[in-house]
Amino acid sequence: MIKLEHIHKSFRVAKRKEGLGSAFRALFHREYQIIPALRDISFEIAAGEIVGYIGPNGSGKSTTIKIMSGILRPDSGNCLINGQIPWQNRKHYVGQIGVVFGQRSQLWWDVPVIDSFSLLQDIYDIPDKAYAKTLSELTATLDLAEIIQLPARQLSLGQRMRCEIAASLLHDPRILFLDEPTIGLDAVSKLAVREFIQKQNQEKGTTIILTTHDMQDIEALASRILLIGKGQILFDGRYADLKKQAKTGLSAEEMVAELYREYQI
Amino acid sequence: MKKYLTYFKIRLIRGLQYRVAAYAGMATQFAWGFMEIFAFSAFYRSNPSAFPMEFSALSSYIWLQQAFLALYMLWFLDMEILEQISSGNIAYEMIRPIALYPLWFLKNLSLRISKAILRCFPILLVTFFLPKPYGLALPSSLTTLLLFLASAALSLMVVVAFTMFVYIFSFYTLNSAGIRLVILSATELLTGAVIPLPFFPEKIRMILELLPFAAMQNIPFRIYSGNLMGPVIVQALLLQVFWAIVLIALGSWWLNKILRYIIIQGG
């Protein structure tokens, strides 16, 4: 279903030393630094799997998600999702996936959430009947009934995130990419989001890839994890196996910190 | 197609909400229009024979310009798009099954049209009742009116197609303030927003009239006021069609090229 082979991606970043002198020099001559974001990333994910994608800040998680969702194109390598190359026919491809960027919002700031939803209905060409059905399901499972009439700006972060997730599932995608869906949420909201993700995966069979820094997310959700560091896949396997390797008595958090140190990432 | 129209509709409705801004805008436009007309009338009194337009045509030109300011001002941009580019929220735009160029084009159209609808009617109405030759005259014939409307629509296309390049440039510079300033100062003059193009010296005017800037407000306002007549109008309309096609083709090619190498700001 999802197959990445030898994906490389680097960014060119303008750099300069500190101070007025170098700032002035940079006006005439800019120096660039090539920063490799992904180095030879390969993995496969089967339909219906739920995979936790973990790694420290700046390790390339979000870049991978953006490549898989057709926003960025890699420098080299193959990526085949649902039989399609994401960036090749972007417009067609993105109709079949759902993406949540936890740090951004797709809801319109000053209109009721439901209006953002109905705009999405038109954007994705969802027939009225299917839309009504999905919406009522999502409203029930994500407990949206009371907040859907409010403008997005008046929602708490937890409420907003539930709406964001609903927004990315209205067109009933087979694949869902969640980029830090629990960032900044309180315990109750986190649990609600986790519970929902699990349900969506089990009942609808949606393939889910989620990135997170919260190891409890991984513990609760993902049977399989992908660990990325400095742009390379360092571990690909079952969470339970990783746990066995680790020293006993460590919490999930400590275990991962240990792992990051071990791999020097 | 429906999805693009939905965007258009929603933006239009949203734009129509800002009534206080519209009142303030109208007041500015009346003041500006009168100021221009007084200044030109001083020139006219000192030497009517050096005047390249009839005075009543000039008045119509100025009032149309003030009434439709929101349609044709080049510095009038969609801040939401600029914000998306600099903050990286464009990522959400790119995961939609929608083509970005036509979407942004329509967003700009709806923004301009909604602003213009709120402002134009009171200005047109009031200036129509001003004493001659200071007010807005009726067009000389129905044909003139129809040609004006066609040309006005084409102008809007050229204007929006041109502003699309500002969004495209801001992918490189991230902050569009600099480009907006340059565009404001350089193009105001070239479009005939400061003084109508017939007032330029012959040789400069001949070059200016071929530029895309001349295919904006210059043509419909001069058709309406009777300054352009006969076969010249056909030529002018063709120039507008030419620039609309060239700018749209170049802009959508360029935007697609950028989207291939885009960098999403802010992780």
The per-residue pLDDT for A29 is 76
Asked if residue A71 lies in contact with residue B95, where contact means CB atoms within 8 angstroms, the answer is: yes
From CA B141, how far away is CA B166, in angstroms rounded? 38
**Scanning every residue of chain B, which has its alpha carbon at the shortest distance from the alpha carbon of A60?**
B267
Say if residues A119 and B6 touch (Cβ distance below 8 Å): yes
First to last CA, chain B: 32
B264 interaction partners in chain A (CB closer than 8 Å): 66, 71-72
pTM: 0.87
* pLDDT value of residue A89: 87
Which has the closest alpha carbon to A199: A221, A217, A178?
A221
Residue A211: inside a domain, yes or no? yes
Does A32 fall in a domain? no
**Which residue pairs, CB below 8 angstroms and at least 24 apart, start in B248-255?**
B248/B105, B248/B157, B248/B161, B248/B164, B251/B101, B251/B161, B251/B164, B251/B165, B251/B168, B252/B101, B252/B102, B254/B165, B254/B168, B255/B100, B255/B101, B255/B164, B255/B167, B255/B168
Name chain B contacts of A125, Cβ cutoff 8 Å: 2-3, 97
Residue A128 has a pLDDT of 95
B5-20 core/surface letters (b: 16 or more CB in 10 A; e: else): ebbbebbeeebeeeee
Average pLDDT per consecutive 10 residues, chain B (267 residues; last block may be shorter): 81 79 89 93 87 90 94 89 89 92 93 90 93 90 95 97 92 79 83 91 92 94 91 94 97 92 69
> Domain containing A236 — which CATH number?
3.40.50.300
Give the list of residues 6+ apart from residue B77 with CB closer than 8 angstroms, or none.
Answer: B108, B163, B166, B167, B176, B180
Minimal CA separation from B121 to chain A, in Å: 28
Give A59 to chain B, closest Cα distance, Å: 11
**Is B95's CB within 8 Å of A92's CB?**
no
B93-104 CB burial, b ≥16 within 10 A, e <16: bbbbbbebbebb
A53/A225 Cα distance (integer angstroms): 6
**Identity of the residue in A73, A91, A115 whose CB atom sits nearest the CB atom of B260:** A73
- Select from A89, A86, A52, A83 the least CA-distant residue to A69: A86
Q: Provide the pLDDT for residue A170.
A: 95
| Minimal C-alpha gap between A245 and chain B (Å) | 32
Parent domain of A258? 2-8+41-106+168-262
pLDDT tens per residue, chain A (265 residues)?
899 999 999 988 777 777 777 777 777 777 788 888 999 999 999 999 999 999 888 889 999 999 999 999 999 999 999 999 999 889 999 999 999 998 899 998 888 899 999 999 999 999 999 999 999 999 998 989 999 999 999 999 989 999 999 999 999 999 999 999 998 888 888 998 999 999 999 999 999 999 998 888 888 888 899 999 889 998 899 888 877 777 767 777 787 888 788 877 7
Cα B7 from Cα B103, distance rounded (Å)? 8
Contact: B262, A71; criterion CB under 8 Å? yes
> Under a CB-based contact definition with an 8 Å cutoff, are residues B104 and B113 in contact?
no
Please report the sign of the dihedral spanned by the C-alpha atoms of residue B111, residue B117, residue B119, residue B124: positive
Nearest residue of A to residue B10, measured between CA atoms: A119
Tell me, yes or no, whether A92 lies in a domain: yes
Check A101 against B10: CB less than 8 A apart. Answer: no
The structural domain count of chain A equals: 1
B3, B93, B95, best to mutate vs chain A, most A CBs in 10 Å: B95
**Ramachandran region, residue A77 (left: φ > 0; alpha: ψ -120 to 50; beta: rest):** left
Per the CB < 8 Å rule, is A122 touching B262?
no
User: How does A18-55 read in b/e, with b if 16+ C-beta sit within 10 Å?
Assistant: eeeeeeeeeeeeeeeeeeebbeebebebeeebbbbbbb
Locate all alpha helices (DSSP H) within chain B, ordered by sequence.
2-15, 19-46, 55-67, 69-72, 79-87, 90-94, 100-128, 142-173, 177-191, 202-208, 218-224, 231-260
Round to whole Å and give the CA distance between A6 and A232. 10
Residues of B in contact with A97 (CB under 8 A): 95
**B94-103 pLDDT, tens per residue?**
999 999 999 9
Q: Please choose, from the candidates B232, B33, B245, B73, the residue with its C-alpha nearest in 3D space to the C-alpha of residue B166.
A: B73
Establish if A189 belongs to a structural domain. yes
Distance from CA of B168 to the nearest CA of A (A): 17
Q: Where are the domains of chain B?
A: 2-260
Q: Which pLDDT score is estimated for A255?
A: 79
CA distance A16 to A26: 7
User: A27 to chain B, minimum CA–CA distance in Å?
Assistant: 13
The contacts of residue A91 (CB under 8 Å, 6+ apart) are B97, B98, B99
Q: Determine whether the interchain pair A119/B267 forms a contact, defined as Cβ–Cβ distance below 8 Å.
A: no
| Residue A90 domain flag | yes
- The predicted structure's pLDDT at residue B267: 55
Distance CA A139, CA A143 (A): 5
